[in-house]
Amino acid sequence: MKHLVIVTCGLLSFACAGPSRFARAGFEVHTFTHESTNAHLVVGEGGAVLFDTGYLRNVEQLEADLKAAGVDGGKLKAVVVSHGHADHAGAAATLHERWKVPVIVGEGDQGMYTSGKNEPLCPTGFIGNLRKSGDESATYTGATPDTLVADTLDLKPLTGLDATVTRVPGHTMGSLIITIGDVALVGDLFRGGIVGSGAETHFYQCDVEQNRRDVRRVLKDLAPKATLFFVGHFGPVAREAVEAHFRE
């Protein structure tokens, strides 16, 4: 969800951050940030996949970002929605319509994605409580997903990328992550620090202790080789910071 009261770029420069690019072995990760929500584009020789889209109102900016990164409707092979909240899934249906790309959603979030309405949120602190009403009531254009992920999905046949989508229920029932090489894209499993480079518990999490167990499962079993985690807000976050915050 969108997490900060945006005042000006001068006061809260992270909210106005431009695109960033991280080169990895065999692929690149481009991050586009609009209203403090990240959309991550993973590009390889065989194609590209977009992880999250941001709010529907920012779709024109997102399309410009994609084109500036050298990706068009032919190279973009899929949109993976980390979860069904409006700030992550909002523009997916529009990209599906305009770019003719399939949209992948986690089983359990199809209700949100189809209706375009958020489910109830569980604040974990002051900022979540402050923002809950506005974030919870955010809506977007709903649609039917092309693919539902119950457990895991191999992205290579569709995108050419040696990447895996895994469902990790917690933030929402259908929350998804992507693992590729030494990188994990984790949506709102946790967030980056508003200031600094640490890992933090997300502003909305209904079962904080289960979330801690889920993060440790990702570290140990789902992404044991990941050294860098791309999150839905702020970040990216180094493995050491994630281990420090979510240690047993």
Instruction: Write down the pLDDT at residue 14.
Output: 40
Pairwise CA distance, residues 157 & 134, whole Å: 39
Pairwise CA distance, residues 80 & 7, whole Å: 30
Task: Give the residue among 153, 160, 1, 183 at the shortest CA–CA distance from 80.
Answer: 153
The string of pLDDT tens digits covering residues 187-207 is: 999 999 999 999 999 999 999
Pairwise CA distance, residues 65 & 71, whole Å: 9
Per-block mean pLDDT, blocks of 10 residues, the chain (248 long): 34 55 96 97 96 98 98 95 98 98 98 98 97 98 98 97 98 98 98 95 98 98 98 98 94
Confirm whether 8 is domain-assigned.
no
Give Cβ neighbours of residue 166 (< 8 Å, ≥ 6 apart).
Answer: 149, 151, 152, 153, 176, 177, 178, 179, 222
Pairwise CA distance, residues 85 & 56, whole Å: 11
Confirm whether 64 is domain-assigned.
yes
Confirm whether 5 is domain-assigned.
no
Q: Give the chain's domain count.
A: 1
Residue-number span of the structural domain to which 127 is assigned:
13-245
Confirm whether 6 is domain-assigned.
no
Q: Can you give the pTM of this predicted structure?
A: 0.93
Angle at 82 between CA 59 and CA 191, to 5 degrees: 95
Residue type, 79: V
Instruction: Write down the pLDDT at residue 17.
Output: 60
Instruction: Write down the pLDDT at residue 248.
Output: 78
Task: Give the residue among 51, 81, 37 at the shortest CA–CA distance from 202.
Answer: 37
CATH number of the domain to which 156 belongs: 3.60.15.10
Pairwise CA distance, residues 47 & 200, whole Å: 32
SS3 state at 149: strand
Confirm whether 3 is domain-assigned.
no
SS3 state at 152: strand
Confirm whether 194 is domain-assigned.
yes
Pairwise CA distance, residues 154 & 12, whole Å: 38
Instruction: Write down the pLDDT at residue 11.
Output: 29
Instruction: Write down the pLDDT at residue 103.
Output: 98
Pairwise CA distance, residues 219 & 237, whole Å: 13
Buried/exposed 61-96: b ≥16 CB within 10 Å, e otherwise: bbbebbeebebeeebbbbbbbbbbbbbbbbbbbbbb
Confirm whether 1 is domain-assigned.
no
